[in-house]
């Protein structure tokens, strides 16, 4: 009953959780740490995989709430699914900002590719590959190199 005093439905609870997750996980952790750890936009992009590597090694790693929820809600008109898509787009927008600042020619395209690496590494880690972020970082270095951007190790 306490749940329904605060939330009208299970969907309302899920939407509130996802909003809080974006604030704490996306903005409060991933974005903050990427900006703190990298001196240049390219280093900040690669720092995402450093953060992920630490996350994947944690005992309590459970995958990404946005990806998991997106897959749970198959109805494309469901508000929870829409929220997941929006939250994932916000993460991609952050990557796009970094790509643009790094001098990438087509930052939106690049951000889509980078985001695929991010999501793929999360799914691979969920399968048990705790080195998935390191593999994604190597692929990220290739994407940056294709743009003529090199990062010292």
Q: What is the pLDDT of residues 12-37, one digit of tens each?
A: 878 788 888 888 888 999 999 999 99
Within a domain: 28: yes
Within a domain: 20: yes
Among 17, 49, 57, which Cα is nearest to 33's?
Answer: 49
Within a domain: 152: no
pLDDT score for 131: 96
pLDDT score for 73: 81
Within a domain: 1: no
The number of distinct structural domains making up the chain is 1
The half-sphere exposure of 124 on its side-chain side, counting CA atoms within 13 A, is 16
Within a domain: 128: yes
| CATH number, domain containing residue 18 | 1.10.357.10
| Cα 54 to Cα 71: distance, rounded to the nearest angstrom | 24
Within a domain: 151: no
Structural domain including 17 reads 7-146
pLDDT score for 80: 86
| Cα 78 to Cα 70: distance, rounded to the nearest angstrom | 10
User: Which stretches of the chain drop beneath a pLDDT of 70?
Assistant: 1-4, 153
pTM above 0.85, yes or no: yes
pLDDT score for 97: 98
pLDDT score for 153: 60
């Amino acid at each position: 009953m306490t749940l329904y005093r605060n939330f009208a439905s299970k969907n309302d609870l899920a939407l509130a959780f996802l909003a809080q997750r974006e604030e704490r996980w996306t903005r409060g952790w991933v974005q903050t740490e990427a900006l703190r750890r990298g001196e240049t936009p390219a280093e900040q992009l690669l720092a995402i995989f450093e953060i992920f590597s630490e996350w994947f090694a944690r005992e309590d790693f459970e995958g990404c709430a946005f990806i998991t929820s997106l897959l749970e809600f198959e109805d494309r008109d469901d508000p929870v699914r829409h929220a997941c898509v929006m939250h994932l787009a916000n993460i991609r927008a952050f990557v796009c900002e970094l790509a643009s600042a790094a001098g990438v020619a087509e930052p939106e395209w690049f951000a889509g590719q980078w985001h695929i690496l991010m999501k793929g590494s999360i799914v691979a880690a969920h399968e048990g590959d705790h080195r998935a972020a390191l593999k994604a970082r190597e692929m990220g270095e290739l994407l940056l190199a294709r743009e003529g951007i090199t990062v010292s190790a």
